[in-house]
Amino acid sequence: MSKLQSKVALVTGASKGIGAGIAKVLAAKGAAVVVNYVSDVARAEVVVDEITTAGGRAIAIQADVAKVADVARLFEQAKEAFGTLDILVNNAGVYQALPIEELTEEKFHREININLLGPLLTIQESLKHFGSGGGSIINISSVASRAQPPGYSIYSASKAGLDAVTGVLSKELASRGIRVNSVNPGATLSEGTKTAGLYGVGSDFEKQLVAMTPLGRTGTPSDIAKVVAFLASDDSGWLTGEVIFASGGLR
């Protein structure tokens, strides 16, 4: 039997990239998966189609995780589709290279609202939907939370904050049987990083990151998804409050 058989998972920001990879791996291991997206319904439906064609169960639900009303609707629709929640993966996130001279209130709030407020709102709402047996919350953070690369002050701050949220809530929610862990990817090849021109085009930035990565390559969404699937399963039942760097050794 698949290790996530009969489980229900909600993955935010799952229409592409790491989120899509996570959704597909969780479904392959038996979970029914809610594929959350904010605007790209076509890509979200592609992910759902891939899962259902392979014999899995999935549904796409639109919601902006930085908006309270959207988050409430997201979880209510997920409940209507699949019932009690077992796994929440906070993957939705944005990033932008931003020298301090270019900082604006709008750019600050965009990243903080999605990367940090969003997970707090989804976790808060998820407490109404986990069953009596508890569940697993996995926050997708970033190696940037500790590497603190130049030009990414807001992004690094948002992810460092998310690591702190993981630690605090792992203690706060332990009595409910809810485990909270972070997975922190390093240089990962995905639609988002390719669109941003960071990786996949022989960029100097990619070459620099690969040179800094002991395993000598960029990661893939599948690399991250396998770690998430472990944390979602009972195999990791003694882990909570952990920050796991899925980065090929990059720090």
Alpha helices in the chain (DSSP H): 17-28, 41-53, 68-82, 105-112, 118-126, 144-147, 153-172, 191-195, 204-212, 221-232
Dihedral angle sign, alpha carbons of residues 94, 100, 106, 109: positive
Helix, strand or coil, per DSSP, at residue 137: strand
Amino acid symbol at 218: T
Q: How far apart are the first and last CA of the chain?
A: 36
Q: List all residues 6 or more positions away from 210 whose beta carbon is below 8 Å from its beta carbon.
A: 187, 216, 217, 218
Query: Which structure tokens are listed for 123?
Result: 């976790």
Q: Distance (Å, rounded) from C-alpha 137 to C-alpha 172?
A: 13
**Degrees, nearest 5: CA angle 2-185-216:** 105
Read off φ and ψ for residue 61, nearest 5 degrees.
Answer: -135, 125
Query: Which structure tokens are listed for 139?
Result: 């926050």
145 touches 184 (CB < 8 A): yes
Catalytic: which of 95, 152, 155, 199? 155
Read off φ and ψ for residue 208, nearest 5 degrees.
Answer: -65, -45
Residue 95 bears catalytic tag = no
Catalytic residues: 155
